[in-house]
Structure 1
Amino acid sequence: MDVTSWLLDSDPSIRWQVLRDVVGAPADVVAEERSRVANEGWGAQLLDLQWEDGSWDGGAWGPADFSEETWKTEGQAWTSTMWTLALLADLGVVPTDPRVAAAVEKVAANVKWEYAGENYFDGEVEACINGRTVRAGEYFGRDMSALVARLLSEQKPDGGWNCFESEVSSFDSTLGVLEGFVEFVSRRGPDSRVDAAIDRALEYMYARGLFRGLRSGEPVQEYYLCFTYPNRHNYHVLRILDLVRASGRAPDPRAVEAISVIRERRGEDGRWLHEGTMRGRIPFVLEEKGEPGRWTTLIATRVLNWWDAAQPVS
C-alpha cells in the first residue's frame, strides 16, 4: 500500500503536515495547503461552532450546561473553548487567517475561566490548564510571558508539574506545561530559563522510560501506551516523543523501549490503527476507532523518521 498517498487523501489539516514532515515539499506548497485548514474540513467546522459570546459550547474549561453529574455519567466534555483551541492548533490553522484572528479576539475579549472569572489568556490556577493556555495563546499570537513565569515558579523538585496537591509530579500535568513551553520558545526563540525547565521536565520523564514508575518499574497507566487522537489531556509515549521532535531536541537512548512499542504497533500495510479518543462529548468524529488512523500514522511516521535519522549507520 502507498501509505503516503493514503495520508494525502484526507483533510487539509493532515495533508499540509504530510507534505511538510513526510514528503518534504517546498515551503510554498506546504503553506498553500495549510491555508485551507481554516476554511475547509475540520478546521472550518470547528470555527463554525464558536458561540456569539466568543466561547465554544458556552465555557472556558467546561460547556455552559456541564455539571459534576454529567462528568460522572458521560465523561468530560471536549467541546469547550480550551479543548477547541487546542485542537485548532493541532490541526494547524494559520493564526493570521482573518477568520481565525477574529475568533481568538472574541475569546480574549469575552471568555472567562470558571474558577474565578479570570480573563481567558491570563490563565487560572491549575498548571496543566495554564500550560495549555500558554500553548494556545502563543500559537495564536498572544504574549504569554507572565503565565510562563508563573509556571516556571511552580516546577517541582523532581522536574515536573502536578495539577493536584502533591510534591510528586505527573506525566499528564507535565506534558501540558511542556506543550506550552515548547510553543513559547518556538515562537519567541531560545530562552535560557524555559529551555532549562523543559530539559528538567524531560529528564523526569526519561528517568522513568517515558511511561514507567520510578520505583515500581511498571507502566504508570495503561493509556500511556494507547495512541489516542485527539489527545485532550492524556499523556502517551507517541505524543511526548512527537513533542520532543518538534522541540528540535535529539532522541534520547532512554526512549528506546517506547520507540519499540511504536514500531510494534505498525500494521503489515505500514499503517497504525486509530485507538480511539477519550470518553465524553465531542464536536464531531475525526476518525473511527479500530480503523487505520491517518493521525496516528502521520505522527508515528514522523517520530520514527526523526529517531532513525539520528541513529548511527551500521
Structure 2
Amino acid sequence: MSWQTQLRADPLPWLLDAAAPGVRYLALRDLCDLAPDDPQLGVAQRAAHRAGPISAILDQMNEAGFWAEPGPGYLPKYRSTVWSVIMLAQLGASLAEDARIERACAYVLDHALAARGQFSASGPPSGTADCLQGNLCWALLELGCQDPRLETAFDWLARSVTGEGIAPMEDREAPVRYYAGKCGPTFACGSNNKQSCAWGAVKVMLALGRWPADRRTPAMARAIEHGVDFLLGTDPALAAYPNGYSDKPSGNWWKFGFPVFYVTDLLQNVEALVALGYGRDPRLAHALHVIREKQDANGRWLLEYDYAGKTWADFGPKKQPNPWVTLRALRALKAAA
C-alpha cells in the first residue's frame, strides 16, 4: 500500500513550488525517491543554498564561523551559533555546497565541545544537556561533518544514557561524571527537576538514529535500546513522561512547529523512533494516527509553534498551512509506511 493513501489530498505540487527552493529540494530528496545523482536533485540543492533561509542565515555568519558573538554559541537565543547550525541542518544545508558551513561546523567543535565529548552551552563540561548534545550531534552529521571529534561526542552521548563509566555528579574527583544540568542516566535533567526529560530523549535518539548503523558501537546499541524503551514505555500520543515541575505534559507536545530546537513535539518523537526502525511498532500506532488527523482537507499541516522574529529567517504565518511542517509530517508517515 502506498504511503500516500494516508493523505486527504496530494500536497506534493505545493511543496515542489519553485517559490520555496528549500522545501522543493527536500521534497524531491525525501519524498520523490530520486537517485542521489539525479540532475534535477542537484539543481534543486544548489538553488536551496543560493536563495531562501539557508542563504539568509549564512549571510549573517561571521567570517570565523560564528553567529552573533564568539564563544560556545548558545547565547543569545535564537540567533547565535548553536541555533543557526541546528536550523541549517533542518533546512537541508550541506557543507559540500558552501564552504561557510564547514567553517561553522569546525567553530562549534572548537568552541562548544569539551575534551571528553560534552557539547556545552558555557564551555566547560558542566554546561552540557541532553537536548544540546543530541541537537548538535545530529546537526553536524546532517550537515556532512566527518570530524573525528564527533566520535567522542557520540560516545559521551551514548554512555550518558545508560550511565556506563560515568560517576554521580556528587563525585567531583571523578574524571567523567554527571553535572547539575545533565544529572543522571535515562535523560535525567536538572531543568526537569532531575527527572527523565523526554524532550532531551528525543534529541538523543534522533542523533543516534543518524549515526551510520554499520559504525554503531555496543554502547550506542545499548543506549538506543534504553532510549526506545523509555520513549515507548508510555503512549507517545499522550506524552505521559515525567513532567518535572508540572502536573501534566507540556501542551507544546501537540503543537507541530518549525524549526525545532529544545522544545519538542509529538512529530519529532515519531521522527526519531521511525528513523530507528520502529515505524511499524504497534506502540507507535496512536501517535501516527494523531499525526494523520492533524492534516487539513488539502493534505497540509499547520504551523502551530514558531520562533517568528527570533531567528535569522521566518517560516510562514502561524496557524496556517505550512510547507516545512507538512514536509516533516510526510517524511515521518512515508518512513513509517
> TM-score, normalized by length of structure 2?
0.75
Change beyond 3 A, Cα 1:164–1:8: same
Whether contact under 8 Å (2:159, 2:220) holds in the other structure is no
- In the TM superposition, residue 6 of structure 1 has moved relative to its aligned partner by 0.5
| AA at the equivalent of 1:127 | D
Give the corresponding residue for 2:166: none
Give the corresponding residue for 1:141: 146
Q: Secondary structure at the match of 2:326?
A: helix
Q: Tell me whether 1:6 sits opposite 2:33 in the alignment.
A: no
Give the corresponding residue for 1:262: 291
| Counterparts of 2:87 and 2:242, CA distance in 1 | 35
Of 83-92 and 123-132, the range deviating more from structure 2: 123-132
Whether contact under 8 Å (2:137, 2:154) holds in the other structure is yes
Give the corresponding residue for 1:128: 131
| AA at the equivalent of 2:226 | R
Q: Tell me whether 1:43 sits opposite 2:54 in the alignment.
A: yes
Whether contact under 8 Å (2:255, 2:265) holds in the other structure is yes
| Counterparts of 2:68 and 2:252, CA distance in 1 | 27
The counterpart of 1:27, out of the listed 26, 36, 53, is: 36
The counterpart of 1:162, out of the listed 188, 201, 205, is: 188
Change beyond 3 A, Cα 1:32–1:243: farther
The counterpart of 1:180, out of the listed 203, 207, 213, is: 207
Q: Residue by residue, what CA displacement relative to the aligned partner does 1:207-244 show, whole Å, maximum 9, x if unpaired?
A: 1111432699x962211111011111111111121223
Larger helix proportion of the pair: 1
Give the corresponding residue for 2:174: none
Give the corresponding residue for 2:300: 271
The counterpart of 2:198, out of the listed 132, 157, 171, is: 171
Whether contact under 8 Å (1:127, 1:173) holds in the other structure is yes
- In the TM superposition, residue 115 of structure 1 has moved relative to its aligned partner by 5.3
Q: Secondary structure at the match of 2:161?
A: coil
Change beyond 3 A, Cα 1:33–1:162: farther
Q: Secondary structure at the match of 1:58?
A: coil
Q: Residue by residue, what CA displacement relative to the aligned partner does 1:100-136 show, whole Å, maximum 9, x if unpaired?
A: 2244344445678875535xxx894223222223223
- In the TM superposition, residue 168 of structure 1 has moved relative to its aligned partner by 2.8
In structure 1, the gaps of 5 or more residues are 67-76, 310-314
| AA at the equivalent of 2:230 | Y
Alignment of 1:83-232 (within 5 A): 83-97=83-97, 98-109=99-110, 116-117=122-123, 124-139=127-142, 140-143=145-148, 144-155=150-161, 160-164=186-190, 168-185=195-212, 189-210=215-236, 211-213=238-240, 220-232=249-261
- In the TM superposition, residue 141 of structure 1 has moved relative to its aligned partner by 2.2
| AA at the equivalent of 1:80 | S
Q: Secondary structure at the match of 1:54?
A: coil
Q: Residue by residue, what CA displacement relative to the aligned partner does 1:71-105 show, whole Å, maximum 9, x if unpaired?
A: xxxxxx21111111111111111222334224434
| Counterparts of 1:215 and 1:48, CA distance in 2 | 40
- Quote the RMSD (CA, aligned, Å): 3.0
Q: Secondary structure at the match of 2:49?
A: coil
| Counterparts of 1:163 and 1:198, CA distance in 2 | 18
Change beyond 3 A, Cα 1:234–1:115: closer
| AA at the equivalent of 2:310 | R
- In the TM superposition, residue 12 of structure 1 has moved relative to its aligned partner by 2.7
In structure 2, the gaps of 5 or more residues are 1-8, 114-118, 164-183
Q: Residue by residue, what CA displacement relative to the aligned partner does 1:181-216 show, whole Å, maximum 9, x if unpaired?
A: 222236x63433213312221221111111432699
Q: Residue by residue, what CA displacement relative to the aligned partner does 1:145-173 show, whole Å, maximum 9, x if unpaired?
A: 11222222322579731331755311111
> TM-score, normalized by length of structure 1?
0.80
Change beyond 3 A, Cα 1:16–1:192: farther
Of 6-15 and 98-107, the range deviating more from structure 2: 98-107
Q: Which has the higher contact order (CA 8 A, sep 6+)?
A: 2
| Counterparts of 1:182 and 1:151, CA distance in 2 | 12
| Counterparts of 2:141 and 2:290, CA distance in 1 | 32
| AA at the equivalent of 1:21 | D
| Counterparts of 1:214 and 1:2, CA distance in 2 | 34
